[in-house]
A and B are shown apart, each in its own frame.
Chain A
């Protein structure tokens, strides 16, 4: 069984996999196949491909998730302004119906690809793959993927990104992590946003929000930020730069990065870093035009040809 396809393999169930794909008979004589593979195998497969593509350019992909209206786009505007002299940023915008967010971010002078999802409540790896075809990644240090504003569905889909940032604005309840455990468990950084409003809100306690967050056994850092007032922006930028540095150092060793909690993938990571270095070399049956020629970290890098 492939370790990069998102399947859950533990010491406890490994023996079950020995018969994987082999035909056996059930008690009443029916043919049965033991699979033990993620339900989202197709999505995960595409996500691995996206990640390999991004890695070939040394681009760090950050998945931004939150409720609608918690300040993802404002955060992007502030971040792009602050980074424009030092890092090259690109954005993929997921939005249900409008291009409003894309227009706002594009006004900051960075490449933006809009994915209008229609009624779909989340981005998936296939949508991101299509968007990547419209994005020139050469020289791009950080790709922000602004997911659809939703605290439920986006948590279940690997996009091929490297890290999850979840926003919780102080205008929401401080018990949101307890109400949406799947989403907040997946956060590699929790950003409490709109903190300038804490002065006028008496029902949001940042310490309570963090306590609910820790109850999910999540050790990720928690930062407070007001994009409007510029408070906490330095700490956020520091985290971003550190994350990029660590990611690039890993890439130089041929190891990619993944969110610490993957949908259905947590068990896979217990096998240690070795498998993480394996780029996905599955042969696609569709024609694919990517050529990965950029060297992310100064080491010789082989071209990957998919298709």
Chain B
């Protein structure tokens, strides 16, 4: 269950951002996760509900966007989707492929409620 460690790392970044922008609270955190990152989005979301307590993101929504696995063949040049344990070329079957996407573990964006918004 390494998702909790990942969550703590994430929350430290979010807290830094919130502090830097003088935010009152964090309302949403958007992630992009590929299957080859080794992180399960559902486990991460569960861990987040525990890890967020007492932080500036205590009421934040965690939204994860699942990215597809895509490879490009180094032999025939074709590109297409692949599955985690079969990263071979869908066109010619060669395993000499490069990963185009699918290993992402990204903090995409953070939505904040700012102190100054209260004054509006």
Which residues does A use to contact B, with CB under 8 Å? 7-8, 23, 26, 30-43, 120-122, 124, 152-153, 155-157, 177-179, 181-183, 185, 212, 214-217, 219, 261, 263-264, 266
Q: Does B105 interact with chain A (Cβ within 8 Å)?
A: yes
Cα–Cα, bound, A155→B97 (Å): 20
List 7 additional A-B contacts (Cβ < 8 Å) besides A214-B95, A217-B96, A263-B105: A38-B105, A39-B10, A39-B105, A39-B107, A157-B2, A219-B96, A263-B38
Cα–Cα, bound, A261→B112 (Å): 34
**In the complex with contacts A155-B38, A214-B95, A34-B108 CB distance below 8 A:** yes
> Is the pair A212, B85 in contact by a Cβ cutoff of 8 Å?
yes
Q: Does B13 interact with chain A (Cβ within 8 Å)?
A: yes
User: Shortest beta-carbon distance, B13 to chain A, in Å?
Assistant: 5
**In the complex with contacts A121-B1, A178-B85, A156-B6 CB distance below 8 A:** yes
Cα–Cα, bound, A157→B4 (Å): 13
Cα–Cα, bound, A261→B34 (Å): 14
Chain A residues lying within 8 Å of B108, measured Cβ to Cβ, are 34-36
Q: Does B45 interact with chain A (Cβ within 8 Å)?
A: no
Q: Nearest 7 CB-CB pairs, A to B?
A: A153-B2, A182-B38, A156-B38, A217-B87, A264-B105, A178-B85, A181-B85
Chain A residues lying within 8 Å of B28, measured Cβ to Cβ, are 30
Cα–Cα, bound, A162→B110 (Å): 33
* Interface bits B1-27 vs A (CB < 8 Å: 1, else 0): 110011001101100010001010001
User: Shortest beta-carbon distance, A16 to chain B, in Å?
Assistant: 9
> Is the pair A33, B2 in contact by a Cβ cutoff of 8 Å?
no
Number of CB contacts from chain A to chain B under 8 A: 131
User: Shortest beta-carbon distance, A166 to chain B, in Å?
Assistant: 14
> Is the pair B104, A264 in contact by a Cβ cutoff of 8 Å?
yes
Q: Does B88 interact with chain A (Cβ within 8 Å)?
A: yes
Count residues of B near A (Cβ-Cβ below 8 Å): 42
Which residue of chain A has its CB nearest to the CB of B33? A39
Q: Does B84 interact with chain A (Cβ within 8 Å)?
A: yes
The binding surface of chain A is classed by DSSP as mixed
Cα–Cα, bound, A219→B75 (Å): 14
Cα–Cα, bound, A33→B1 (Å): 29
Chain B residues lying within 8 Å of A261, measured Cβ to Cβ, are 103
Q: Does B58 interact with chain A (Cβ within 8 Å)?
A: no
Cα–Cα, bound, A120→B114 (Å): 36
Which residue of chain B has its CB nearest to the CB of A212? B85
Q: Does B106 interact with chain A (Cβ within 8 Å)?
A: yes
**In the complex with contacts A42-B12, A43-B9, A217-B88, A263-B37 CB distance below 8 A:** yes
> Is the pair A33, B109 in contact by a Cβ cutoff of 8 Å?
yes
Which residue of chain B has its CB nearest to the CB of A19? B109
Q: Does B71 interact with chain A (Cβ within 8 Å)?
A: yes
> Is the pair B37, A33 in contact by a Cβ cutoff of 8 Å?
no
Identify which of residues 67-86 in chain B touch chain A, using a CB-to-CB cut-off of 8 Å.
Answer: 71, 84-86
Q: What are 20 residue pairs bridging A and B, where the CB atoms are less than 8 Å apart in the complex?
A: A26-B111, A30-B112, A31-B114, A32-B112, A33-B17, A33-B112, A35-B13, A35-B110, A39-B107, A41-B107, A42-B13, A121-B1, A121-B2, A178-B85, A181-B36, A183-B38, A215-B88, A217-B96, A217-B99, A264-B37
Chain A residues lying within 8 Å of B104, measured Cβ to Cβ, are 8, 264
> Is the pair B85, A179 in contact by a Cβ cutoff of 8 Å?
yes
Q: Does B39 interact with chain A (Cβ within 8 Å)?
A: yes
Which residue of chain B has its CB nearest to the CB of A37? B107
Chain B residues lying within 8 Å of A39, measured Cβ to Cβ, are 6, 9-10, 13, 31, 39, 105-107
User: Shortest beta-carbon distance, A64 to chain B, in Å?
Assistant: 18
> Is the pair B38, A42 in contact by a Cβ cutoff of 8 Å?
no
Cα–Cα, bound, A173→B16 (Å): 45
Cα–Cα, bound, A36→B97 (Å): 25
Chain A residues lying within 8 Å of B106, measured Cβ to Cβ, are 7-8, 35-39, 264
Which residue of chain A has its CB nearest to the CB of B18? A33
